[in-house]
Structure 1
Amino acid sequence: MTVLELSTDQLLSTTRAVRKRLDLTRPVERSVLRECVELAAQAPTGRNRQRWEFVFVTDPGRRAAIADLYRLGLTRPTVPVPYDGVDRSEADGRQRMADSAQHLFDHLHEVPVLLVPCVHVVREPSPSVVAQANLWGSVLPGVWSFMLAARSRGLGTAWTTAHLHYEREAADVLGIPYESVQQTALIPVAHTIGTDFRRAPRTDSDAVTHWDSW
């Protein structure tokens, strides 16, 4: 596997959520996924305990079942999904995002690899803010490192969460012990069609930066 010649800044600024440019016809080598996991394992994790584990779904039947739960989560969510309205100035961008999301909706079962990052937990009815921060802080750095490593190897990824509306059903499909292991996302993984990704339009850094107080 050839690693792309990207500077650190290029890697950080061009790792996109890839949906329409996932190559649905090309298999992903397990050795490449292992390389990405090895790098992900070097990410910081709470108390230096690696409480996360990755479940890669490559079996066509299981991929189809998880994809169906993803679609069900979007069309029949178990809890209301907040909606903040559409800014007319962003309408074009929202439409492009909607087209991209629809493409993934239609083709998720064809993506050669689905990654379900998991974390060991003691499930609580209403976890405290501290407990939530500890949980996500222990798994997100590793997942993001995996996604960066994947990008550098010509793979595309996207963080999705819709299937979590039916997490217990997904646990049954994948044999995940629901009571002690929490799924955190569903990430399609595939070679990308082309590797020329660009920086995305983002809010100016000064608009989201505060010094000493809000």
Structure 2
Amino acid sequence: MTTLDLSPDELLTTTRTVRKRLDLDKPIPLELIRECIEIALQAPSGSNRQSWHWLVITDAEKRAAIGEYYRLAVEKYLAGSGAAGKLFSDDPVRGPVQRRIGDSVAYLGERMGQVPVLVIPCLEARSLPAGNQAGLWGSILPSAWSYMLAARARGLGTAWTTLHMRYEQEVGELLDLPEEMRQTVLIPTAYTIGTDFKPAPRQPLDEVLHLNSW
């Protein structure tokens, strides 16, 4: 197993959502995906329940079917007023950045079904709590992020997306998902075209940091 020579800080700050630089043609050994998930299983979960399950989709027909649901969801997302490019259209700083993100979202929307491996972490939950759900989703999301970090360390690119959840039931039926299993995120995974990812622009720390009170 070959890993990139990244410091912990570099790994944390350069693990990006990758869309246009996913290599759609290079196959990924299943053992590499297993390594990433093995690492992800070390993440914390509420009361150490570990009630997670991981769907790894490599079958071409199933990937294509999920890709079509995703394409339809992306179409509706980009047409809506909440799409990032429209939301920041009047912002001279964030507007151009968000429009580029919108372009990359559209790009992946047309190609999701071609990505070599699709990963869907799931969480066992027979019913969703009516109130605070932080503990529920907090029992799987750190693990999903750990998977993405492990993938980056191995030269793989990933993207965090939940747009397919518009068709959650259809995707669940396609994958024979038990009723009590909740999909949490869709993580397309592929080798990247180049590995030179950099930290993204973010708000200055002092604009978002609040010490002791708001």
- Smaller-chain TM-score range? over 0.9
Match of 2:141 in 1: 140
The residue correspondences of 1:194-209 to structure 2 (distance < 5 A) are 194-209=194-209
Match of 1:157 in 2: 158
The residue correspondences of 1:29-40 to structure 2 (distance < 5 A) are 29-40=29-40
Match of 2:130 in 1: 127
Corresponding residue SS for 2:185: coil
2:137 & 2:48 partners in 1: Cα distance? 14
In structure 2, runs of 5+ residues without a counterpart are none
1:128–1:82 CA distance, 2 compared to 1 (3 A): farther
1:75 aligns with 2:75: yes
1:182 & 1:122 partners in 2: Cα distance? 8
2:187 & 2:154 partners in 1: Cα distance? 16
Per-residue Cα deviation, 1:117-152 (whole angstroms, up to 9, x for no partner): 10000224x6312xx101111001100110000000
Aligned residue identity for 1:203: Q
Match of 1:95 in 2: 99
1:106 aligns with 2:113: no
2:83 & 2:149 partners in 1: Cα distance? 29
Normalising by structure 2, report the TM-score: 0.92
Aligned length: 208
1:15 & 1:9 partners in 2: Cα distance? 10
Aligned residue identity for 1:73: A
How far did residue 104 of structure 1 move? 0.3
Aligned residue identity for 1:25: D
Match of 2:193 in 1: 193
In structure 1, runs of 5+ residues without a counterpart are none
2:130 & 2:28 partners in 1: Cα distance? 37
Corresponding residue SS for 1:95: helix
**Is contact 1:3-1:154 (8 Å) kept?**
yes
Corresponding residue SS for 1:138: coil
1:41–1:105 CA distance, 2 compared to 1 (3 A): same
Per-residue Cα deviation, 1:29-67 (whole angstroms, up to 9, x for no partner): 111111111110111111011111110111010001111
CA RMSD of aligned residues (A): 1.6
Aligned residue identity for 1:176: L
1:174 & 1:114 partners in 2: Cα distance? 12
